[in-house]
Chain A
Amino acid sequence: MAWAKKILRVNLTDGSIASEPLNMEWAQAYLGQRGLATRYLVEEVDPKCDPLGADNKVIMATGPLTGTMASTGGRYSVITKSPLTGTVACSNSGGFIGAEMKMAGWDMIIFEGKAASPVYLHVENDNAKLLPADQLWGKSVWETDELIHKIHQDPQIRIACIGRAAEAGCLYSAVINDLHRAAGRSGVGAVLASKNLKAVAVRGTLGVGNIKDPKRFMQSTGEQKQVLAENAVTGQGLPAFGTQVLMNVINEIGAMPTRNMREVKFEGAHKISAEAMAEPRKSDSKPNLTTNAGCFACTIACGRISTIDKGHFSVENKPQYWGNSGGLEYEAAWALGSDTGIDDLDALTYANFLCNEDGFDPISFGATVAAAMEMFEQGVITTEDTGGIEFKFGSAEALCKAAEITAAGEGFGKDLGMGSKRMCEKYGRPELSMTVKGQEFPAYDPRGIQGMGLTYATSNRGACHLRSYTVASEVLGIPEKTDPLATEGKPGLVKAFQDATAAFDSSGLCIFTSFAWTLDNVAPQLDASCEGDWTAERLVEVGERIWNLERDFNNKAGFTAKDDTLPKRFFTEPANTGPAEGKVSGVEQMLPEYYDLRGWTPDGEVTTQTRDRLDLPS
């Protein structure tokens, strides 16, 4: 079974809390987490609603394998309509709170309405209560975590909460759990803030049982852990270097977006890479990286735990930042570093700590700072707009200050908190915003890795690398090598990755397992634990259904084929160096074939035929 088969529904407007049975018919069609919660969202939320209004809902959802011994089986997602993009949002996080929700007996928590004053939800198994959070409002994530543990005198509570950035209206604010794991993208934190919901604190002691065939499950999860251990990426690269293993690789192939994505290679990459994180520093001969860390049940353990040099200008008088916290992942190192032209590892780590401490997405933040730097360079904004900060490419001081004012929502930090699309529009230069559907790009240049261009253009939550990570194929050769500069065959590749990823994201497992696993490795674990017959083919179908359900929501929210595109820069400014030199993105050539493979109209609408084939709701 693996599902707890129970949903906790919390109405913030009237304060009522109810337990509901999980819709098992939907669970068979949409599996769990991303897929299943989206099915609930589609049923209950008007796609045209104001994302920050009381009509929007926010769902915290686990998958059937969350809380089990399957490797990486600790994921949870936050599903809502995004205030950053206006599309469906699904932000996935690891850490421990997802498993704790399941241990408490819940597959999902659905929040609806809006509380009159700040509240937090405290869940102890069957017992769930909304409690006043006036004393927590205005506090950072780290302070909130400490206070809630103190209030309940229980060190074992797991907490997800928002920080000051969300309260200040930052449109890419995150929901942070376990101090430094993030449901990071698309501004899901701002939705919690709009509902006056500060935190969710969970303690579960019931455990996860009801495995369909326990013996087969233990055997299968054991075998699949072995596959992860023996794979070069999941068994060696990720534990040793984290996702930062990519920094030098991507830079070398000329696909490292640099200085607001004008260039494709960063000369300072080696100073902010995994190798640099492991290098002992002069002041105390300790490296930036203290250790690697695993999320719940994860046998890969790619997480970075790091410190900042105590003598660095950002923290020299701030002992509160001298300890360890979640350190740089590749995406953060790229956005805070390469995209801004900054090669100061400690400054990047400090900015990343602030993103953890006050809950905002380092990708969108770094990319927005990069856009501000380009506007500053062009004289569109000056120190008068920025409150005296010199937003120069390469300025570590500017980055650190920018993080501080964005965390607090002060001064120019309000503009930065809008995200680059709105900020660039405000100053009359919308073309300088490197976004799709309002969400900032991640760390792969679509000129140098053509499949990623199509990935960004068609992602259901705006620019995102986690919706179809074709880098695996185009750069790393997983499951087979394709030419990163070619557009031929990419529509099919992107579709296949999108569908498979949707299934991974709905299972409770981490997408990083897919460096070693395909759905053939996932299916036996699901089949041994969940009701029904689960094969890889069925999971592909579930993934495709989820993709179309999300697309349909976006279409109903007003998005059309016109929105499936990239900023002008990628069509008019060819890559300046490296293997992709002279190349622009071929997205426009790939889209018609992609729509056709999807069974959509040339306008990107889901056809009746496709709808019937996948049994989508009307």
Chain B
Amino acid sequence: MADTGNAVKPSSSVKLVLLGEAAVGKSSLVLRFVNNDFQENKEPTIGAAFLTQKCNLPTRTIKFEIWDTAGQERFASLAPMYYRNAQAALVVYDLTKPTSLIKAKHWVAELQRQASPGIVIALVGNKLDLTNDGIGNGADGDGAGSDDSGDARKISTEEAKTYAEEEGLLFFETSAKTGYNVTEVFTAIANAIPETSLKTTRGPGASHAAGRTEEQRVNLNGPRDPNAKEGCAC
């Protein structure tokens, strides 16, 4: 569709896997990124869901093949099946649930040890809208700072950020509900993927993407209008 304009740019696909505790919003993040949509009662993912979405970088186009995995603990043993060959991973936790960060750390450790070397990992604290600094509550969009007085926030930005820096992870706090920071996560990942590890698209036969081919982006400055669409600014 809209990628005709990008035809000249090199296109490559990146396998990305989402991991994290149950109900932290993995599927919602993907849904926001792929369809710019949000469902209050998203069915739990059984096994894993597969979606694709393109991200246009200035020099190239990245087609994300997103594996959205089930979060329940017992599904953990299935995860290797999904993160196999993944070039990027989103490890998601719930800002309002301390246990979910512990689980996220476990996943990071698992990935660092078992996944393909050089995998780009982003640590994402979701549900920012439930905190005071969440833009969903009308706070400043840049408010994802150290303010820890958020209503439901249980994990301070520092804590997670420090951990992310130690482990060399990308770090974001997002809200799938409002769309805040969601696209940034994927864009940052796209930028972090080393050029060398990119393979070219597998060809037209593979383009049965479930999602739209045009990348969606939530305007950072217009949080109350999550449907605003823009080309990828990166």
| A and B found bound together | no
